[in-house]
């Protein structure tokens, strides 16, 4: 059997890695105050795997034999654990259900192709035999993009691209690298770094997500202010489709009708399976720094990020947290010792003396890359830009800590879920002029929803990606609910947040994709005509809906339920 790496079936990451609160003295009191949850009590463990009732595979021996002819005998797997791992992503809905044994429609078989030609053969085989193919990268999706329709009667094949993980070529002159779609973030960066290059794309899911998944979901990375999101980074690609191989050459720009590249970006497997991507890469910078700053309020921080975005300053990260998330960040820090303890206390007294309300404090991280002289100039420019908004630099220490821990947040979500709190994220993007009113509207809508479901909860936010015309607001929210029907109350909160996005002039998702979680709001986001155009595209390429059916928009197949009945 293949040696492809997978996350654990019941949560984020790998066994043996978890969030611990014992060395963070402010965390337990913070959660108790804000959510009413005592996290010092032992966590509830998910079911053991042998306690699950895994539906039997529907794969016939005839189909098994034909799949083995395509990918090899050892690359066709029907064991229960492999099928469960590939059944869902890592959204809070996925984890609540899978931890309680509600597995939904599990793939009948997992296959591990080793080449583009094998993937193309799988696509043609599925169409010819009216089977369902669901592409699988790292399994990190949180929008339901990996979930099979609950009532799907056809044989379901999960196509795991984990064997396709190599940097195939590198054009030094053009700064272009062709990389197989199954390469996970750390692996592709290691291969590029050895040659002096970086992709510069670091989403929250970086350690457990793949290049193909980033393209299929229109991912954004933490350093997109400099490198762009995956739509900017992707220059060409290769994709297996029902009509044959789509080859898009990595041209710098074209004027050849509607962009087929843009049609593939964000298509979530509905048009085919991406096997290779040609991306623009950059030389590893001489200097890389994340500097931390304080602002007297979130509104002041937003104004400062706006000024940076429309200035000549060149930053890699421009992030600012509201006072709620800033307080949460302080609560997750380890206890200060020695001189640092007194420095922190002194800084807070200094800010209070300046008239700051510490409860409104907003923490910011701004990233710089390049030569030493370039970074020095950029830091000076940023210092001048934030000064009119009360911005105050506090050095590299907090920024270095953020940089070390930036991929660990999902472990906190799993820790809270063990103790009876459902935590999730939703993000949007809107013009600068609408950001603060949108933020206020989302906070109000979320708090109203928490009151409606009669549960204590918390919502916080940060601005995470800046553009010329606007920015992304990234919300994290949680409710304390240990009951079997927690998802019913979670849905009230999730719906309130998503509808506040649309009402405030934002998009339903900036970079987490659509899947099935966000599809109910697609018409409100892109208009009914836009949904019809996407539906026509999907139906034209895949009329029998053999390719990841039910995702992005519901296109009418009688066996497809957009939202699972089990919720």
Positions marked catalytic: 474
The number of helix segments (H) and strand segments (E) in the chain equals 19, 18
Altogether, the residues listed in the chain come to a count of 567
Terminal Cα distance for the chain, rounded: 33
Per DSSP bridges, beta strands 156-160 and 132-136 are: parallel
User: 76 - beta bridge partners?
Assistant: 111
The rounded radius of gyration (Å) of the Cα atoms in the chain is 24
**How far is it, in rounded angstroms, from Cα 203 to Cα 226?**
14
Where are the strands (E) in 432-520, listed by range? 457-466, 470-480
> Contact, 270 vs 551, CB < 8 A?
yes
**How far is it, in rounded angstroms, from Cα 215 to Cα 265?**
5
> Contact, 407 vs 204, CB < 8 A?
yes
DSSP-derived letter for residue 199 is -
Structure tokens at 205: 């899911």
Q: Shortest CA distance to 398 belongs to which of 329, 463, 303, 465?
A: 329
Question: How remote is the C-alpha of 30 from its chain's centroid?
Answer: 26
Element holding 531 (H helix, E strand): helix 522-541
User: Cβ atoms within 10 A of the Cβ of 416, count?
Assistant: 21
Alpha helix stretches (DSSP H) within 458-521:
486-503
Question: How remote is the C-alpha of 209 from its chain's centroid?
Answer: 9
Q: Shortest CA distance to 462 belongs to which of 328, 307, 348?
A: 328
> Contact, 361 vs 296, CB < 8 A?
yes
**How far is it, in rounded angstroms, from Cα 373 to Cα 149?**
55
CA atoms within a 13 Å half-sphere pointing along the CA-CB vector of 283: 8
User: 319 - beta bridge partners?
Assistant: 365
Buried b (16+ CB within 10 A) or exposed e, 1-23: ebebebbbbbbbbeeeeebebee
Q: Shortest CA distance to 154 belongs to which of 517, 543, 549?
A: 549
Q: Shortest CA distance to 409 belongs to which of 501, 465, 474?
A: 474
**How far is it, in rounded angstroms, from Cα 7 to Cα 206?**
13
Q: Shortest CA distance to 362 belongs to which of 320, 319, 318?
A: 320
| Long-range pairs, 387-390, Cβ under 8 A, ≥24 | 388/307, 389/295, 389/300, 389/301, 389/303, 389/304, 389/307, 390/295, 390/296, 390/300, 390/356
């Amino acid at each position: 059997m293949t040696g492809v790496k997978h996350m654990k079936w019941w949560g984020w990451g790998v066994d043996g890695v978890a969030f611990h609160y014992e060395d963070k003295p402010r965390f337990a009191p913070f959660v108790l105050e804000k959510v009413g949850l005592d996290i010092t009590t032992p966590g509830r463990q998910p079911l053991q795997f042998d306690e699950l009732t895994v539906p039997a595979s529907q794969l016939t021996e005839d189909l098994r034999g034909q799949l083995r002819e395509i990918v090899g005998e050892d690359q066709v797997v029907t064991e229960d654990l492999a099928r469960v791992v590939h059944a869902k992503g890592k959204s809070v809905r996925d984890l609540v259900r899978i931890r309680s044994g509600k597995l939904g429609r599990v793939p009948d078989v997992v296959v591990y192709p080793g080449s583009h030609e094998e993937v193309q053969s799988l696509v043609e085989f599925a169409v010819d035999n009216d089977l369902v193919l669901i592409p699988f990268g790292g399994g990190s999706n949180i929008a339901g993009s990996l979930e099979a329709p609950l009532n799907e009667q056809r044989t379901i094949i999960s196509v795991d691209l984990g064997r396709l993980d190599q940097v195939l070529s590198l054009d030094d002159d053009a700064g272009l690298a062709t990389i197989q779609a199954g390469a996970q973030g750390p692996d592709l960066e290691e291969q590029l770094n050895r040659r002096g290059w970086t992709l510069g794309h670091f989403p929250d899911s970086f350690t457990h997500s793949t290049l193909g998944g980033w393209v299929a979901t229109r991912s954004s990375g933490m350093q997109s202010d400099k490198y762009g999101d995956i739509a900017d980074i992707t220059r060409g690609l290769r994709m297996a489709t029902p009509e044959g191989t789509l080859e898009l050459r990595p041209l710098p720009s074209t004027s050849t009708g509607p962009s087929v590249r843009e049609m593939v970006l964000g298509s979530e497997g509905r048009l085919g399976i991406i096997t290779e991507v040609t991306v623009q890469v950059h030389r590893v910078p001489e200097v890389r720094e994340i500097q931390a700053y304080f602002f007297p309020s979130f509104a002041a921080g937003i104004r400062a990020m706006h000024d940076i975005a429309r200035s000549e300053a060149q930053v890699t990260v421009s992030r600012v947290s509201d006072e709620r998330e800033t307080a949460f960040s302080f609560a997750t820090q380890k206890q200060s010792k020695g001189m640092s303890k007194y420095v922190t206390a002194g800084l807070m007294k200094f800010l209070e003396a300046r008239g700051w309300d510490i409860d409104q404090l907003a923490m910011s991280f701004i990233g710089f890359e390049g030569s030493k002289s370039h970074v020095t100039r950029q830091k000076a420019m940023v210092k001048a830009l934030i000064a009119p908004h009360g911005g105050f630099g506090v050095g590299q220490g907090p920024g270095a800590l953020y940089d070390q821990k930036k991929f660990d947040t999902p472990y906190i979500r799993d820790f809270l879920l063990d103790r009876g709190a459902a935590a999730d994220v939703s993000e949007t993007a809107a013009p600068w002029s609408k950001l603060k009113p949108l933020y206020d509207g989302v906070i109000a809508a979320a708090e109203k929803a928490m009151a409606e479901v009669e549960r204590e909860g918390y919502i916080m936010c940060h601005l995470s990606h800046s553009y010329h015309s606007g920015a992304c607001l990234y919300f994290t929210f949680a409710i304390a609910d240990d009951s079997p029907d927690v998802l019913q109350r979670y849905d009230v909160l999730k719906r309130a947040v998503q509808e506040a996005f649309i009402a405030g002039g934002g998009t339903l998702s900036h970079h987490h994709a659509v899947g099935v979680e966000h599809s109910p709001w697609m018409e409100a986001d892109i208009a009914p005509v836009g949904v019809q155009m996407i539906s026509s595209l999907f139906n034209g390429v895949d009329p029998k809906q053999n390719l990841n059916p039910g995702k992005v928009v519901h296109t009418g197949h009688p066996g497809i339920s957009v939202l699972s009945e089990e919720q």
